[in-house]
Amino acid sequence: MRKDISAIVLWGALWGIAEATVGYVLHMITFRIGWFFWFPIAFFFMNRVYKDTGKLSSILYTCSIASAIKLTNLLLPARIDKVINPAVSILFEGVVVFTAFKLVEKYEQKVNFRFFGVLAASMSWKVLYSLYLLTLPSWIVSISPIRSPEPFLRFLLVESTINALVIYSCLTAAEKITAIDDKGKLWYKLVNNISKVFSEYAFKPAVSFSLLGCALIIQLAL
């Protein structure tokens, strides 16, 4: 139980740090490219915490931590929609990935995403987010992806497809790397040793909660 809590806090904190740092860099870029990163990043952390705990509920707890970290920006003089909307989207991503993993676990006994499964997950959270946007004031809708058909279709179809390709490619590459039988190679030993050290120390409460504190500081600082 303690290790599970530490894993949830660890990956939630790292997710929060990734959101803050990547977001900070992307805000300095003139063209909009954040959509390329957000869902693949979210999927990575949710997939990792599920693998480390073996519990689907850990996905929901982890996305809640990442969302809460984002909400700390409400303490700063920031535009409210730029804080709440990303936090809500993180929760929708968590609900969708939780549901997808639940279905795969039920029918295949293991998480083994194929491309169209990833695409369905990528599109589903965007559908939920679009429905959420409909409940907001008109001035927010007017600058959102649902302001007109063209940006909405780009948001739902084009961006979802590209996100799905990125995630599926990473999952496929990870499977192939894991299957490589190069145990005698120096690189394999190095990666294996790093993995062992990470597993031994990263899930200690002192480490995971320290990272959570760092995530909060970084979020407020950036």
pLDDT of residue 27: 79
Q: Which residue has the tokens 């497809």?
A: 161
Q: CA 65: distance to chain centroid?
A: 11
User: Does the pLDDT at position 158 exceed 80?
Assistant: yes
pLDDT of residue 140: 93
Least confident of 84-88, 107-111, 146-150, 204-208: 107-111
Higher pLDDT, residue 3 or 139:
139
Tokens of 187: 């690189």
Higher pLDDT, residue 26 or 187:
26
75 Cβ partners below 8 Å, 6+ apart?
Answer: 220
Q: Which of 74-83, 112-121, 149-158, 186-195 has the highest mean pLDDT?
A: 149-158
pLDDT of residue 175: 80
Which of the four pLDDT bands, split at 50, 70 and 90, describes residue 193?
A: low
pLDDT tens for 42-78 read: 999 999 999 999 999 999 999 999 999 999 999 988 8
Alpha-carbon torsion 124, 162, 11, 221, what sign?
negative
pLDDT of residue 185: 65
Higher pLDDT, residue 92 or 205:
92
Which of the four pLDDT bands, split at 50, 70 and 90, describes residue 187?
A: low
The DSSP letter of residue 72 is: G
Which of the four pLDDT bands, split at 50, 70 and 90, describes residue 2?
A: confident
pTM given for the model: 0.89
Long-range contacts formed by 218-221: CB under 8 A, 24+ apart: 218/16, 218/17, 218/20, 218/21, 219/16, 219/17, 219/19, 219/20, 219/69, 219/70, 219/72, 219/73, 220/72, 220/73, 220/75, 220/76
- Residue 46, number of CB atoms within 10 A of its CB: 27
